[in-house]
Structure 1
C-alpha cells in the first residue's frame, strides 16, 4: 500500500490527503444514510478509517499540521449560531426558553463536572472543560426527526428554540472555563492577571465581532452578487479568527457576535443560507480530521470514564429540562419528555474538544478528545430514536407517516431553523 508520507513533495502529500478525506467522508455517508444516521457520524467513522490507527492513508504529519481547520470550521459554526439571537424572536418567546435552556445546559455541566471530580478524582481543569462541552447539543438529528414525522405544535417550537440557544450557552461556558483553567499554574495557585487577560481579550473580541457584524451589514446588504457576498463574509470571519489566534483565544464568541450583530442590524437570512451552502467541504474535512485524531488505543483507558460521561450527561440534560419546565409551568407531557430530544451531541462539542486538547497537557487533552469523539458517535446513533420517542410519548405525533410522504416536506420548517444536513 502506498503511504503518502513516503512522497517527497509536501504539497502533493497535503493535496492528496485532502482528496482522500473528502472521498472517505462522502463514501461513509452512503452507508450512514442507509442506516438513517447523521452525516457527522459517517465523517467521524471515515476519519478513524483513514487515520493512522486503521488504514493509515492520511499521514500523521498532515493531521498535526491542520489545526487551523478547527478554528475556521468553528468560525462558520459560531457565525450560524449568532443568527438565532435576533432580539425580536427572543422577545416573542419570552423568558421561558432562556430559563429552560440555561437549566438543562448547566445541569449537564454540573452533573458531568461533579461525576468526573468526585467519582474519578480527575484534575479540576479536565472536569471543568469536559463539563462545559457536555452542555452542548447537536440539533441536526432532532430536527431531521421532527421533519420526518411532520411534527407540529408548542412542543416542537420549544425544542427548536432550545437547541438554537443551547450551543451559545456551551460556547460561553467553555470560554469562561478555559480562561479559568489558563489562570491556574502548575502548583494549583490562581494567577489573577492570567485569568483577567483572556476575559479582557474575549470581551474585546466580542466587541470587535459586533463592529464587524455591523460593517458586514453595510457592505453585504445592497446590490452585491451572491459571489461577492460570500467573499466578504468569509473574509470578515477569517480576519476575526486570525486576530483571535494572535492573542490565543477561541474565535467562537467573536464570530457568534458577528452573526448576532449582522442579523439584528437588519441582515438577511439568505446570507446565512449562502454561507451554509458554501461550507460543507470545510466542515466535512473538520469532522474527518477529528475522527483521524481519535486516539484509538486510549479508548481502553477512557472506557469507564466515557461510559460514565455518556449516561451522566443524558441524566443531567433530562433533569435540567424537567426542572426548567417545572419552573416555567409547562404542560406535564412537555416536562416529562423534552429532555429526550436533547440527547444528540456533535458539531460544536467536537470543535470544543479540539480546543480543550490544546489547552490541557498531553494525556488529559487526548482523553477529553477521545471521550467526546467516541461518545459523539453513540449520541448521534441513539439521538434520532430518543427524539422520535419524545415526539410520540408527548402526544405531538400519533401515527407513522405514509411512505409517500417526503421527510424534507415535514412540518417544523416555519420555525426558522435551517434544514438539517
Structure 2
C-alpha cells in the first residue's frame, strides 16, 4: 500500500477548512463583479458538490449539522435582538397588518400559483409557501447600512423582517405538523402553541440567566461569550424539548434587548468579529445541499416560485400599509424591499430534509427552494436598495437637528385640560421611549418650574416646554399634536396644536437654542408646514412632514451648519 493510499481527506476540520477557503474565494469573486458575496458562497457550494470531493459528499454533510444549527441560532438571536419594543411605539398597527398579510396573502398566492399554474402537488407546494414568508434580516440590515438610510420605510422594514421570520417559522411548524398528524387542523394548531410557548420559556430563561451572571459573576468582557452560550443553550434545550431552536433563539434575543438594551450592541460587536467566517461556511454548506442536476428539470418551477413570492410580498405589503394609512410612496415600494431571502429560509429547507414524515417531497422542496433563494440573493439586495432610493430615504443618516424626534417619540391626538396635564402626558411617553438621568417626577417638576417663570407658548399654536439637565449627552424630546387644539391659555389666545417637550443636557445648550429657534421660526412663518403638521393623521405622517427635504429650515444637517460656521 502506497503512502498516498493511506492518507485520509475526510476529517471534519480539514473539510471545513476546504469549504471555508473555497467559499471565501467564491464570495470575493462575486464581490469584484459587484454581486452579493452570499451569491458567491452558495454558487461555490453548488460547484463543490458537483466536484464530489472526498469528505464532501451528501452523507458527509450531515456531520456539519451542529455547526449549521449554531449559525441558524445566531441569525435568529440577532433577529430577535432587533425587536426593541420601545422603538416600535406608533408602528404597532402597520406591523400587525403586515404580519397578518404575510401570514395569509403571501402563502396563499405562492401556494395557489405553484399548484394551479406549476402543477405541483399540494404537500411540497404548501411547504414552499410557508418558506416563502421568510425574509433576510442580515441582508436587509446590510443594505440599509450601505445605503445610509433612515426613515419610515427603513425603520418599519428593520422591525418587519425580524417579525416576519418568526411568522415564517410559526407557519412552517403549523404546515409541517398538519402534514404529520393526518391533516388535523386543531392538532396542528395546538402543536404550534406548544412550540411557541415552550420556545419562549426556554429562550427567555437562558437569556435572563446570562444577564444575571453578567451582573453578578461574569464581567463585561465576558458578555459576548455569554451570548454565545445563550444561543447554544437555547438551541440545545429546544432540541431536548422537541421544539424549534430558531424560535427559542429568537425569543432569547428579544429578551436580552428589552431587559438590557445597552448590552445588545456589545454582544453583536463580539459576534460580528466571527460573523464573516460563520456566514461564509454556512451558505457554502447550504449550496452544497443543492442537487444542481435537478435544477434544469425544475427550472420553470424555480422561476414561478420566485415571481409568486415577489407577487405575494408586494400584494400583502401594499394592502396592509394601505389599510394602515402609510404614505403612498412607502406603500408603493415596501413589497420590493421585502424581496431578500436568507438564512431562516435555508434553515427551514434543511428542516424539511431532516423530517422523516416529509420523505418524498424533500428533493423538490430543496431544489426549488434553494435555487429560488439563490436568485433572491442575487436580485434581492438590489431591489431593497432601489426601494430605499425611490422613497428618498438613502443617505439620510447624517446628523440632523431633529434626529431625536423619531416616529416613536411623536404622539397624535394629544389630550389635556391644563399645561401640567399635557406635560405629564408627554413625560410619560418620553420616559417610555428614552432613558433620562433624573426620575420622571423630578423632571416634570423642573419643567413646570420653568413654565411658571415664563410661558413657553410661542403663538400660532406652538408650545415648547423644556428644562436643562446637569447630566446627559444629547437632546431628548417628544412631540404631541392635537388636531382640535388645546385651550392652554396661550398669550395670543389661540388653541395649542403642537407641544414639543425637551430635555437638554448642560453640554447641549447651543443645540437646544437651535431647536427652539428653528421650530418657532418654521411654525410661525410657514403656513403650509404648520397646517400639515397640525393635521397629521399619524405619527408616521408627522415624521415625514418634519424630516422631508423641503423642510430644510427646520431640519437641516448639522454638519452643513458646522461647515458654514468654519467658512
Could you tell me the TM-score, scaled by structure 2's length?
Answer: 0.63
After TM superposition, give the deviation of residue 183 of structure 1 in Å.
Answer: 1.7
The alpha-carbon distance between structure 1 residues 8 and 259, as it changes in their structure 2 partners (threshold 3 A), is same
- 1:331 aligned to 2:327? yes
- 1:418 is matched with none
Please say if residues 80 and 162 of structure 2, whose CA atoms lie closer than 8 Å, have aligned partners that are also in contact: no
C-alpha distance in 1, partners of 2:13/2:146? Answer: 38
- 2:236 is matched with 242
- 1:228 is matched with 222
C-alpha distance in 1, partners of 2:393/2:226? Answer: 42
Q: SS at the partner of 1:151?
A: coil
Range moving further from structure 2, 67-76 or 119-128 = 119-128
Q: How does 1:86-101 map to 2 (within 5 A)?
A: 86-101=84-99
- 1:59 aligned to 2:53? no
Larger-gyration structure (1/2): 2
- 1:113 aligned to 2:107? no
After TM superposition, give the deviation of residue 25 of structure 1 in Å.
Answer: 1.3
After TM superposition, give the deviation of residue 350 of structure 1 in Å.
Answer: 1.0
Q: How does 1:15-54 map to 2 (within 5 A)?
A: 15-51=13-49, 53-54=50-51
- 1:287 aligned to 2:288? no
Q: How does 1:3-402 map to 2 (within 5 A)?
A: 9=8, 13-51=11-49, 53-54=50-51, 56=53, 58-60=55-57, 61-104=59-102, 106-184=104-182, 190=184, 196=190, 199-200=193-194, 202-221=196-215, 224-225=218-219, 228-267=222-261, 268-269=263-264, 270-359=266-355, 361-396=358-393
After TM superposition, give the deviation of residue 102 of structure 1 in Å.
Answer: 3.3
After TM superposition, give the deviation of residue 36 of structure 1 in Å.
Answer: 2.4
C-alpha distance in 2, partners of 1:198/1:106? Answer: 16
C-alpha distance in 2, partners of 1:168/1:118? Answer: 28
Range moving further from structure 2, 275-284 or 66-75 = 275-284
The alpha-carbon distance between structure 1 residues 315 and 36, as it changes in their structure 2 partners (threshold 3 A), is same
After TM superposition, give the deviation of residue 362 of structure 1 in Å.
Answer: 3.8
The alpha-carbon distance between structure 1 residues 34 and 239, as it changes in their structure 2 partners (threshold 3 A), is same
After TM superposition, give the deviation of residue 8 of structure 1 in Å.
Answer: 5.8
Please say if residues 111 and 128 of structure 2, whose CA atoms lie closer than 8 Å, have aligned partners that are also in contact: yes
- 1:404 is matched with none
Q: SS at the partner of 1:329?
A: coil
More helix by share: 1
C-alpha distance in 1, partners of 2:100/2:193? Answer: 21
After TM superposition, give the deviation of residue 59 of structure 1 in Å.
Answer: 2.4
C-alpha distance in 2, partners of 1:149/1:255? Answer: 28
Please say if residues 82 and 259 of structure 1, whose CA atoms lie closer than 8 Å, have aligned partners that are also in contact: yes
The alpha-carbon distance between structure 1 residues 70 and 180, as it changes in their structure 2 partners (threshold 3 A), is farther
Task: State the number of aligned residues.
Answer: 396
C-alpha distance in 1, partners of 2:295/2:65? Answer: 22
More strand by share: 2
Q: SS at the partner of 2:321?
A: helix
C-alpha distance in 1, partners of 2:143/2:252? Answer: 30
Q: SS at the partner of 1:66?
A: helix
Residue segments in structure 1 that go unaligned for 5+ positions in a row: 402-406, 416-421
Deviation string 1:155-177 (CA, Å, 9 cap, x unpaired) is 33333332233222222222222
Deviation string 1:133-160 (CA, Å, 9 cap, x unpaired) is 1011124444444444443332333333
C-alpha distance in 2, partners of 1:353/1:13? Answer: 26
How much is the aligned-residue C-alpha RMSD, in angstroms? Answer: 3.1
The alpha-carbon distance between structure 1 residues 7 and 111, as it changes in their structure 2 partners (threshold 3 A), is farther
Larger RCO (CA within 8 A; separation ≥ 6): 1
The alpha-carbon distance between structure 1 residues 15 and 118, as it changes in their structure 2 partners (threshold 3 A), is same
After TM superposition, give the deviation of residue 79 of structure 1 in Å.
Answer: 1.2
Range moving further from structure 2, 286-295 or 233-242 = 233-242
Q: SS at the partner of 2:134?
A: coil
C-alpha distance in 2, partners of 1:14/1:287? Answer: 17
Residue segments in structure 2 that go unaligned for 5+ positions in a row: 407-567
After TM superposition, give the deviation of residue 314 of structure 1 in Å.
Answer: 0.2
C-alpha distance in 2, partners of 1:223/1:313? Answer: 48
